[in-house]
A and B are shown apart, each in its own frame.
Chain A
């Protein structure tokens, strides 16, 4: 590789590049998935110049991820779908479709990937799965390009510093939290110094430190001449720095301009786009699209003074001590890196918390603080090393998770981990017949789908739903069971504006009906808006 890393770990692209010449451009007349009559993308013309930041905003289901993967070479026209139009990378134009090009050209994903870095919406899908450490995972692309070890080591260290993974270089990738995994995916995409970087919802699930670092990284890349393209359904604060905003709706570009131009004209952004929840956002003065839905009813502390709906008493946990399965999983894949004989660090240290019926408690904290680990204790998926968990005043130790699930509903951090059925309706219906008669189970499943706005997708395959709908479907599976304790892990991630409004309404309604809600989120503003009480998990301890 001729390109050299500079002191900040970002490759310079040399002087050869013409700032007026786009690195990547596309003219998409139509793009249609196989076995699908209707094009998902149509009438899209794009050009990305060196040293620019372009943001493509669109609600869930608008075709963002499809467009992103198409541009990144992850969805090559041909096998992946039928493209009528062209893609042009670094001056080489490939025409697809039309009678005069029957087979069409083929994209070489590897050659494409050298110039185009891509961070998909699900960061876990980037992992090679055979690398034992974060450092090796970062180096995977460089190994394939035969970069020498000294250059590789330097690049790994610099990239880790840029994305905030220095402390985790020797960890096994399977042990990373959701936010840490996203940082790793970004690191893998930028380490080889692509000329254009495409990221799909990169700010989702990043804590504030991670967001600030990513914003800094984007600024640096743009300054060095990289074209950065971000697909988003949330107007995160760093996106305001973009030169161009494009609005994608129903598969085509509806509007374009500077952020100021688009924000000035009301109605330019579709309703599904979420406004910044950060204090510096432009939507702050106006009425936010999703008004605070904190239930007005106060939690029923007086009504049930003796037994909180959920109580944690001195809960401690460490992987490898209390629970069999996580320990096994980690040991097998990363055994050689764990120091022998030292006890595993405690993830949770003596946590006590009481949540009353009708109360919403938000748990916030940085990426990797143990928030998801805490939540998985509430329905018995993980068992504490020491301490007690009481649901409705009854200790759950020794009760199988499947039984605890009658009263505790858990929304997983990754909806894809929660969904396993063939249709959305079957998904919601799973397990309901144990609680209700078959007629009632069917009714409840349909009602839950309606509540989250997915009645129209009842017979669709969960995997094929857009990310926001997957999250809502997972929520429907929880709501249908009418739990007395609702445990939500990062419920806002991947939701667009419409989805967020559905979530808020559903959580508010559940709390008003007397459910105790514990929600884990990295988004402090959302936590303050939704919850009666916000606690912070840091260093394994709960801080008020």
Chain B
């Protein structure tokens, strides 16, 4: 079944919220594992893992440093250097938080890497989200590929005139210096022309608009979305209530 992008958004969002609210490390680990399994099955693991690492590694390291070393409630001391001490409780707390964040981040990343952008834009505009907003969202998500292909074209033009790019990150970075100015100039120049075309095609009309792309939806998916939103709200409410009852 092809999911409506709003359904997958609701799934990812609710998962992230509920996992955070539940704050239970077995659940967090299960969710993170499930997200990774989905990514592997969907063939997006290769792109997802570097992005996840970029977000999670610094976050988890700072959690470990903060809570692992300076956890006031910790009393089972493993090692101690002056005021800094590693406690079992601190480590457990840091790991629990790390698992929680990893689960939420992975769930949202799986969504953003697997969502089909045109479907999302169509689903949003069908729900009355302003065309401009939907366009900005779509442009943001397609900006990187567009810039990449533009750099590629400029580089091809330069290679055709004798620019030799040796393999390796350093060489590429040096060569990019030559492409940066043409890239920026051409993007600005193109933006001007593109704006005229978009305006003439009625893009800034304020009235209602329709969508050519039919986004799959069903009663089941609509119900599921409602249930997910309710569940997430309930989880947050329960957490707040329990928190208050506990103190």
The stretch from A207-215, A251-259, A325-333, A493-501 touching chain B is A325-333
B209 to chain A, nearest CB (A): 5
Q: Chain A residues with Cβ under 8 A from B186's Cβ?
A: 420
Q: Chain A residues with Cβ under 8 A from B196's Cβ?
A: 69, 74-75, 109
A144 at the interface (CB under 8 A from B): yes
Q: Chain A residues with Cβ under 8 A from B154's Cβ?
A: 420
Partner of A402, one of B131, B152, B163, B212: B163
Partner of B158, one of A135, A403, A430: A430
Chain A residues 318 to 353 lying within 8 A of chain B, measured CB to CB, are 325, 328-329, 332-333, 335-336
Complex: chain B residue closest to A144, CB-CB: B202
Known: A125-B194, A130-B142, A153-B212. A406 touches B162 (CB 8 A): yes
Q: Chain B residues with Cβ under 8 A from A410's Cβ?
A: 160
A403 and B210 contacting across the interface, CB-CB below 8 Å: no
B76 at the interface (CB under 8 A from A): no
Partner of B210, one of A109, A143, A435: A143
A446 at the interface (CB under 8 A from B): no
Q: Chain A residues with Cβ under 8 A from B161's Cβ?
A: 405, 430-431, 477, 481
Q: Chain A residues with Cβ under 8 A from B189's Cβ?
A: 463
A126 and B197 contacting across the interface, CB-CB below 8 Å: yes
Q: Chain B residues with Cβ under 8 A from A412's Cβ?
A: 157, 160
Known: A136-B213, A149-B212, A420-B158. A431 touches B163 (CB 8 A): yes
B214 and A144 contacting across the interface, CB-CB below 8 Å: no
* Chain A 140-153: CB-based contact to B (< 8 A → 1; otherwise 0): 11111111110011
The stretch from A50-58, A112-120, A308-316 touching chain B is A112-120
Q: How large is the interface on B (under 10, 10 to 19, 20 to 34, 35 or more residues)?
A: 35 or more
Find the residue from A109, A336, A419 having the highest chain B CB count within 10 A.
A109
Complex: chain A residue closest to B159, CB-CB: A401
The stretch from B33-41, B50-58, B100-108, B143-151 touching chain A is B143-151
B73 at the interface (CB under 8 A from A): no
- In the bound assembly, the distance between CA atoms of A409 and B164 in angstroms comes to 15
Partner of A152, one of B159, B201, B204, B212: B212
Known: A174-B149, A333-B145, A481-B162. A419 touches B157 (CB 8 A): yes
B222 at the interface (CB under 8 A from A): no
- In the bound assembly, the distance between CA atoms of A489 and B194 in angstroms comes to 25
Q: Chain B residues with Cβ under 8 A from A419's Cβ?
A: 157
Find the residue from A127, A145, A419 having the highest chain B CB count within 10 A.
A145
A400 and B145 contacting across the interface, CB-CB below 8 Å: no
Q: Chain B residues with Cβ under 8 A from A420's Cβ?
A: 154, 157-158, 179, 182, 186
Complex: chain B residue closest to A135, CB-CB: B212
B200 at the interface (CB under 8 A from A): yes
- In the bound assembly, the distance between CA atoms of A146 and B194 in angstroms comes to 21
B142 and A148 contacting across the interface, CB-CB below 8 Å: no
Partner of B118, one of A74, A132, A152, A153: A132
- In the bound assembly, the distance between CA atoms of A421 and B154 in angstroms comes to 10
- In the bound assembly, the distance between CA atoms of A72 and B199 in angstroms comes to 11
Known: A129-B194, A329-B152. A402 touches B164 (CB 8 A): yes
- In the bound assembly, the distance between CA atoms of A141 and B198 in angstroms comes to 9
Complex: chain B residue closest to A474, CB-CB: B157
Chain B residues 78 to 123 lying within 8 A of chain A, measured CB to CB, are 116-119, 121
Partner of B139, one of A130, A149, A156, A422: A130
B208 at the interface (CB under 8 A from A): yes
Q: Chain A residues with Cβ under 8 A from B152's Cβ?
A: 325, 329
A434 at the interface (CB under 8 A from B): yes
Complex: chain A residue closest to B207, CB-CB: A146
B3 at the interface (CB under 8 A from A): no
A449 to chain B, nearest CB (A): 15
- In the bound assembly, the distance between CA atoms of A335 and B154 in angstroms comes to 24
User: Can you list 6 A-B pairs with a CB-CB distance of less than 8 A?
Assistant: A113-B202, A141-B201, A144-B203, A147-B210, A152-B212, A418-B157
